[in-house]
Structure 1
């Protein structure tokens, strides 16, 4: 059964309002409270070192129109734990093999969300998730810092607040864009191929060298967020749990600003990666994406190699084969695309984000996830074997 001391709130209001006030000073004010709806008001405990962080997270969530999951101390009524639910529609619910339990995939998430086999709420959560799968209604999935689903609830947005992005549900998985060649394209193909070879030396020269590729990688890695401050516009590489599409799109934007022409590579499979940026030292994904760049060298004269730039997994550019091998599924499939495809979950429209509006919003969300975890259990790296 759900934690009786837990609240999932889509209404977050500060009383008095935080506008124009220093959050640390507001927390020291013992009159500062948080209205979470339903005539429920929560006091922020000035003696709790996490309270400034809690107020920061709640204030950001209120601005985004996103909900909060709060566990309250039964004696004091103050916040004991704060989690940020994942909002989305359920794409699949399936039994896990080893250890039992349930594995869930959501439409705006590449993470594998898990109800452990030893969860006391396994049956209740399983029924709720399967009902959501059938109805395609949006739900809030609450995952703890160990990666286990602990609560699932219907999503009802705050009528007075902003609406979070939530695409309409589809009916069938949408593959990457592809169409057969038209007849006139077959006729012109030899000419295009000849022109391509004529232009190839120019293309080769404009691909970076290995040294330049490492410099590009280092420039991307340098944007990584400090987990305890997460200043905009840093990229939350230290939160590998979710949001890879936003990280990839932001890196592509930065590479274009450097005069480069990046693309993207997508991987689908049963992906498992060891990571010191995870408290439980393992991330599990259903798919993943990262930018790629052409790099001079790799074989014959004037050859190029497509290299992956993924600071969430590596410290240097790697080949697509190395990138795939790192993710633990030899049967995984790779798909190369241009950089314009923003997110590619199944059952959801393919779209770009030329204005980078969605990129900024998603990065803000995952920066907040990183910050929220860091203020409560400490920042990464974590002690992993």
Structure 2
């Protein structure tokens, strides 16, 4: 059964008194925040989460219902489950890049495993809560709030159009003519690619949009929360690049990724995939060009796709280049109106602000 010391639901109100703050959730359950400076900041974050009708996970001290920690559940279907070497389960969610783990010795491990395995088969939507090390601490069936936001999910991916089999032998001719066009019209190369200096300027412009962890004012991009949300960050960066009259694409990486970072208190993140925008950059040499990755969540400058891959902990990971319009991992409908982009940017701004209120602002000094 679920942890009796955990409350999961929407915050109804946060009230201040001489002893601190009282947090009331749906169903009338209450919890307390003691009167400290840190808890005053946390209370403001909880008020904001309540105003946005975001579900929260509150873990309380059973002796007095004092809040010990607050986490944000992920609302998602289960994409895949696999056994871990330690006897636990790895869980991949449909709308998350993180690789979550249900540890064998976790409280309620058997019940959490039952729920995710059932959801994998039935497509049921769950509320899944994980800690800073991406270990699952709570799993519940998601019941939509009639007054709350409906999380967007990817639709069924449309298969790419196939070339008729009779035209397959002509592919070499198409490739040859494309290459010939490129060499006969070098001005196209100059127009389509930018200089290394310009690429750094674009990178700096993207990095300048990073969120202040304590205030997270929209439309900032939460680069300092690397745990999840890369697809929304990448799409927003592409929108900004298009406004700069650039022609971005995206590169996706799939694998068992384990990426060191100073922006998570555990000093790493585990991903099943990751995505970032790319730009065509001239050089090295006059007649050469290459795609450079713009990823302020991992780097301080544009890097090659090989360098980008090398820091993510899986040499067997695969890279896939796509048009910038692909929003969801694996395909699905585009987000031309940026509605889903803005929804998930809001989610991970909240996650960053909540972490900063409890753990302090990144980067974390304990990380090498």
Q: Is TM (by shorter chain) over 0.5?
A: yes
- Following the alignment from structure 1 to structure 2, what is the Cα–Cα distance between the partners of residues 158 and 29? 32
Higher mean C-alpha deviation, range 237-246 or range 77-86: 77-86
Give yes or no for the alignment of 1:331 onto 2:316.
yes
Q: What secondary structure does 2:27 align onto?
A: coil
Which residue, 118, 127, 134 being the options, matches 2:105?
118
Q: What is the Cα deviation at residue 325 of structure 1?
A: 1.4
Q: What secondary structure does 1:364 align onto?
A: helix
Question: What's the counterpart of residue 71 of structure 1?
Answer: 59
More strand by share: 2
Which residue, 354, 362, 365 being the options, matches 2:336?
354
Give yes or no for the alignment of 1:341 onto 2:323.
no
Q: What is the Cα deviation at residue 214 of structure 1?
A: 1.1
Asked if structure 1 preserves the Cα contact closer than 8 Å seen for 2:242 and 2:248, the reply is: yes
Question: What's the counterpart of residue 41 of structure 2?
Answer: 53
Asked if structure 2 preserves the Cα contact closer than 8 Å seen for 1:50 and 1:376, the reply is: yes
Asked if structure 2 preserves the Cα contact closer than 8 Å seen for 1:89 and 1:137, the reply is: yes
Question: What's the counterpart of residue 272 of structure 2?
Answer: 286
Q: What secondary structure does 2:26 align onto?
A: coil
Distance 1:50 1:95, change over 3 A: same
- Following the alignment from structure 1 to structure 2, what is the Cα–Cα distance between the partners of residues 44 and 279? 22
- Following the alignment from structure 1 to structure 2, what is the Cα–Cα distance between the partners of residues 176 and 363? 27
Give yes or no for the alignment of 1:101 onto 2:88.
yes
Question: What's the counterpart of residue 264 of structure 1?
Answer: 250
Q: What secondary structure does 2:313 align onto?
A: coil
Distance 1:274 1:100, change over 3 A: farther
Matches within 5 A, 1:120-159: 120-159=107-146
- Following the alignment from structure 1 to structure 2, what is the Cα–Cα distance between the partners of residues 147 and 368? 17
Distance 1:241 1:178, change over 3 A: farther
Higher mean C-alpha deviation, range 349-358 or range 158-167: 158-167
- Following the alignment from structure 2 to structure 1, what is the Cα–Cα distance between the partners of residues 348 and 269? 15
Give yes or no for the alignment of 1:316 onto 2:301.
yes
Question: What's the counterpart of residue 179 of structure 1?
Answer: 162
Higher mean C-alpha deviation, range 69-78 or range 106-115: 69-78
Distance 1:227 1:73, change over 3 A: same
Asked if structure 2 preserves the Cα contact closer than 8 Å seen for 1:204 and 1:303, the reply is: no
Distance 1:56 1:208, change over 3 A: same
- Following the alignment from structure 2 to structure 1, what is the Cα–Cα distance between the partners of residues 165 and 18? 70
- Following the alignment from structure 2 to structure 1, what is the Cα–Cα distance between the partners of residues 257 and 20? 48
User: Can you give the 5+ residue segments of structure 2 that lack an aligned partner in the other structure?
Assistant: none
Q: What is the Cα deviation at residue 163 of structure 1?
A: 2.4
Q: What is the Cα deviation at residue 122 of structure 1?
A: 2.5
Q: What is the Cα deviation at residue 183 of structure 1?
A: 6.7
Matches within 5 A, 1:153-232: 153-167=140-154, 174=157, 177=160, 179-180=162-163, 186=170, 189=174, 194-232=180-218
User: Can you give the 5+ residue segments of structure 1 that lack an aligned partner in the other structure?
Assistant: 16-25
Question: What's the counterpart of residue 377 of structure 1?
Answer: 359
Give yes or no for the alignment of 1:4 onto 2:15.
no
TM-score by length of 1: 0.86
Aligned pair count reads: 364
TM-score by length of 2: 0.89
RMSD (Å), alpha carbons:
2.7
- Following the alignment from structure 1 to structure 2, what is the Cα–Cα distance between the partners of residues 177 and 238? 34
Which residue, 73, 80, 89 being the options, matches 1:92?
80
Q: What is the Cα deviation at residue 191 of structure 1?
A: 5.8
Q: What is the Cα deviation at residue 205 of structure 1?
A: 4.1
1:67-99 Cα deviation digits (max 9, x unpaired): 1111223344342211100110111111112x4
1:32-83 Cα deviation digits (max 9, x unpaired): 75431223244554x1333343333333333444311112233443422111
Give yes or no for the alignment of 1:38 onto 2:27.
yes
Q: What is the Cα deviation at residue 167 of structure 1?
A: 4.7
- Following the alignment from structure 2 to structure 1, what is the Cα–Cα distance between the partners of residues 90 and 6? 23
